[in-house]
Amino acid sequence: MPVSEGGLVARPVDPSDGIPPSRARRLLDVVGAAAGLVLLCVPMAVLYLLVRATSRGPGFFRQVRVGQGGRPFTMYKFRTMRRDAGGLTVTAEHDPRVTRLGRLLRKWSLDELPQLVNVLRGDMTLVGPRPETYELAVYYDPAHRWVFDHRPGMTGFAQVHLPDYDLLTPGREVDLAEYIERVVPTRAAIDALYLREPTLRATLRTLADTARLVLRLPLAPPPEVRAIVSGVTADAATPHAARAGVARSDAAETGDAPSHDTGSAVTGTPMVKVRRPAGDSGSAA
Give the separation between CA 169 and CA 99, rounded to whole angstroms: 24
Q: Is residue 177 part of a domain?
A: yes
Number of domains into which the chain is organized: 1
For residues 166 and 115, what is the distance between their CA atoms, to the nearest angstrom?
24
Residue 136's φ and ψ, nearest 5 degrees, are: -80, -35
| Beta pairing partners, 63 | 75
Q: Determine whether 223 is exposed, middle or buried from the number of CB atoms within 10 Å of its CB (0-12, 13-18, 19+).
A: exposed
**Residue 244 belongs to a domain:** yes
284 belongs to a structural domain: no
> Strand, helix or coil at 263?
coil
pLDDT at 44: 98
Per-residue model confidence (pLDDT) at position 177: 83
What pLDDT is stored for residue 261 in this prediction? 46
In a domain, 205, yes or no: yes
d(CA 253, CA 216) in angstroms, rounded, equals: 25
Residue 38 lies in a domain: yes
Backbone φ and ψ for 230, nearest 5 degrees, come out as -60, -20
Helix, strand, coil shares of the chain, percent, nearest 5, are 45, 10, 45
Q: Which positions ≥6 away from 229 have C-beta within 8 Å?
A: 162, 166, 186, 221, 237
The one-letter amino acid code at 52 reads: R
Q: What is the C-alpha to C-alpha distance for residues 56 and 156, in angstroms, rounded to an integer?
A: 32
On whether residue 283 sits in a domain, the answer given is: no
Contact 156, 129 (CB under 8 A): yes
280 found inside a domain: no
Residues 26 and 273 sit within 8 Å (Cβ to Cβ): no
Q: Full-prediction pTM beyond 0.85? A: no
- Residue 267 sits in which domain range? 3-275
With respect to residue 67, please indicate whether it lies within any of the assigned structural domains.
yes
Rounded Cα distance, 89 and 270, in Å: 8
pLDDT at 110: 97
One pLDDT digit (tens) per residue for the chain, 285 residues: 566 666 799 999 999 999 999 999 999 999 999 999 999 999 999 999 999 999 999 999 999 999 999 999 999 999 998 876 544 333 445 667 789 999 999 989 999 999 999 999 999 999 999 999 998 999 999 999 999 999 999 999 999 988 755 665 555 555 788 789 888 999 999 999 999 999 999 999 999 999 999 999 999 999 999 999 887 644 444 444 333 334 455 555 666 655 444 443 333 333 333 344 443 333 333
